DNA sequence: GCGTATATGATAGTAATACTATTATATTTG
DNA sequence: CAAATATAATAGTATTACTATCATATACGC
């Protein structure tokens, strides 16, 4: 969900292109809103760093507590467990992407151009220095690439899906699907194409770094953007 | 790796279309070859069932031991830990798929037809009753869809990749990439296209069952096969 | 048939994980 | 200034992911 708050209490807001915005995450995803306290923000920013450093399996609330100098019990007051924290982080990320999609495409008339712009946003690396309310977006995007699959590949998917935990991701897929349908109203597979592209982008980035024989980027002038742009346009055409 | 053993000791072999075959898994992936003992086979078949039932996170060697009435220490003699067991299972699966690819395409002259046949094999569900040397292939394919990502999304990927743990998967990707290159020798992204299709197939099957708003199958006459066949042909053409 | 190797069973133990609970102290707010 | 709230400090529990040891059963070579 994207919430644009104008002239609200300054401390909860972020200056960005002169627009004051806050990314709001579904209440179900925290026991206590981490965006509203210093400790909460420290939990968010340090958990991102620590998950990147250790990988999600080796990451624990105990270790996080040591990093931020707080007992693990304090972290449990914000998040029921590390799995919910991961869903919180991915949810935040997808809302952030949705915000970027909306603002990057708002003045583009051609739906083809809007689709291409959307693929840009899905593929382009986040700038290193983007830090939106205690979230290091560049590091967070590494987590999305390496770990976000684990947020919904569990035996609780169905239950958690009912509670709306994956809404932010779905909204992004829906938004881009709508652009595709504008471009070609009788296209049969808009959601499949979009989710194939999104997951594909993550896989290809991961493969490029860890299993290069499964991809072709790094060869010649191949890029992930071009691959998925060509793929989408050839398919829809 | 596909090893075809003719007239070898009958107990290690499987009758299939009058061909005696055994799927061989890389030695690095077990401490003791589970294909060569009753206990080993029981470990394999019951672990498949238990992982499907519990999900990989909740699956433990202790629980498996209770199911097969053996102490966990006996299971540890075959597999260093459950993560290695998962890699063993996925490796076995990909070698099995490679075998199917080879035999299904061997007499097809047209490379386009061979590509389509390959996509068939990647997308078609395994028949319920296929049981190759203690492996229930249909159940195993559920594990591939839901859990196989976890075999290489860990902080040990690079190390394990060096040891060749993911070779079976890479061979499948390579084999289909070669077909694509026959079809269009200057195609820039054969590996990317194949790995996008393979991972995409798994995601779409998973979404269809758990997160249907991310896909379009179940609507009209949409099928995963047709989606990826159209996608591939439109892209390559 | 006998001794030896090998496979499995039975049992115990350990450090880490994923929590839950309780009490104390500091800070904010009304 | 009192009351509510947030955090710290500490302890405790069941489960997990192993490792180790010793006993027993079976198979195999001579």
The tens digit of pLDDT for each residue in A7-26 reads 333 333 444 555 567 789 99
- B20 strand-pairing partners: B15
Residue reference for tokens 């433990």: B60
pLDDT number for residue A83: 98
pLDDT number for residue A218: 85
Q: pLDDT digits over B13-26, tens only? A: 444 555 567 789 99
Write out the E strands in chain B.
Answer: 2-3, 14-16, 19-23, 131-132, 135-136
- How far is Cα of residue B34 from the mean position of the Cα atoms in its chain? 18
- Region A100-123: mean pLDDT is 96
Q: What is the C-alpha to C-alpha distance for residues B151 and B84, in angstroms, rounded to an integer? A: 8
Average model confidence (pLDDT) across chain A: 91
How many other CB atoms are there within 10 angstroms of residue A213's CB atom? 17
- Region A214-229: mean pLDDT is 94
**What's A76's DSSP letter?**
H
Position B217 pLDDT exceeds 70: yes
- Nearest CA to A190 out of A171, A202, A174 is that of A174
- Region A25-42: mean pLDDT is 96
Position B52 pLDDT exceeds 80: yes
A123 at interface of B, judged by CB pairs closer than 8 A: no
How many other CB atoms are there within 10 angstroms of residue B182's CB atom? 15
Q: Domain map of chain A by residue range?
A: 2-236
Position A39 pLDDT exceeds 80: yes
pLDDT number for residue A234: 97
pLDDT number for residue B20: 61
Tokens encoding B63: 């629980």
Tokens encoding B219: 């609507």
pLDDT number for residue B126: 87
Write out the E strands in A73-173.
Answer: 131-132, 135-136
How many other CB atoms are there within 10 angstroms of residue A37's CB atom? 12
The protein footprint on chain D, as nucleotides within 7 A of a CB, is 6-11, 15-21
H/E run at residue B204:
helix B190-210
- Nearest CA to B122 out of B178, B177, B202 is that of B202
Distance (Å) of CA A211 to CA A116, B29, B156, B191: 27, 18, 12, 11
pLDDT number for residue B16: 53
Q: What is the C-alpha to C-alpha distance for residues B180 and A127, in angstroms, rounded to an integer? A: 35
Instruction: Let me know: does A204 contact B192? Beta carbons within 8 Å.
Output: yes
Residue reference for tokens 């070859």: B33
pLDDT number for residue A8: 33
- Residue length of chain A: 237
Position A100 pLDDT exceeds 70: yes
Q: What is the C-alpha to C-alpha distance for residues B49 and A81, in angstroms, rounded to an integer? A: 28
Q: What is the C-alpha to C-alpha distance for residues A219 and A163, in angstroms, rounded to an integer? A: 43
Q: Is A162 helix (H, G, I), strand (E, B) or coil?
A: helix
In angstroms, what separates the C-alpha of B60 from chain A's closest C-alpha?
Answer: 14
Q: What angle do CA B125, A171, A143 make, to 5 degrees?
A: 75
pLDDT number for residue B19: 56
For residue B78, say whether its CB is under 7 Å from any atom of strand D: no
pLDDT number for residue B220: 82
B217 contacts on A by Cβ (under 8 Å): 192
How many Cα atoms occupy the beta-carbon half-sphere of B157 within 13 Å?
Answer: 18
Position A182 pLDDT exceeds 90: yes
Instruction: Indicate yes or no: CB of B195 within 8 angstroms of CB of A217.
Output: no
Instruction: Indicate yes or no: CB of A235 within 8 angstroms of CB of B237.
Output: no
Surface of B (127-146) touching A: CB under 8 A:
146
Average model confidence (pLDDT) across chain B: 92
CATH code of A2-236, in short, is 1.10.357.10
CA of B71 to C1' of D12 (A): 29
Residue B16: what are its φ and ψ, rounded to 5°?
Answer: -155, 120
Distance (Å) of CA A123 to CA A148, A168, A200, A201, A204: 16, 18, 10, 6, 10
Residue reference for tokens 């603002």: A103
Find the range with the poorest average confidence among A148-152, B131-135, B197-201: B131-135
Would you tell me the crossing angle of helices B190-210 and B167-183 to the nearest 10 degrees?
Answer: 120
């Amino acid at each position: 969900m994207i919430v644009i708050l104008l002239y609200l209490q300054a401390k909860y807001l972020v200056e960005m292109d002169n627009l004051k915005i806050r990314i709001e995450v579904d209440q179900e995803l925290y026991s206590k809103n981490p965006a509203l306290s210093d400790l909460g923000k420290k939990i968010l920013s340090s958990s991102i760093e620590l998950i990147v450093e250790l990988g999600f399996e080796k990451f624990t609330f105990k270790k996080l507590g040591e990093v931020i100098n707080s007992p693990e019990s304090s972290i449990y007051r914000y998040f029921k467990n590390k799995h919910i924290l991961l869903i919180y982080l991915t949810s935040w990320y997808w809302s952030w992407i949705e915000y970027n999609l909306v603002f990057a495409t708002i003045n583009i008339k051609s739906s083809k151009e809007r689709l291409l712009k959307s693929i840009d946003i899905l593929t382009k690396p986040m700038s290193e220095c983007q830090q939106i309310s205690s979230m290091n977006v560049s590091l967070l995007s590494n987590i999305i690439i390496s770990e976000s699959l684990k947020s919904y590949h569990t035996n609780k998917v169905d239950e958690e899906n009912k509670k709306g935990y994956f809404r932010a991701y779905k909204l992004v897929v829906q938004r881009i699907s709508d652009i595709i349908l504008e471009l070609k109203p009788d296209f049969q597979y808009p959601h499949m194409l979009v989710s194939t592209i999104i997951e594909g982008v993550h896989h290809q980035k991961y493969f490029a770094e860890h299993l290069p024989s499964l991809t072709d980027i790094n060869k010649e002038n191949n890029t992930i953007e071009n691959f998925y742009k060509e793929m989408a346009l050839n398919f829809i055409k």
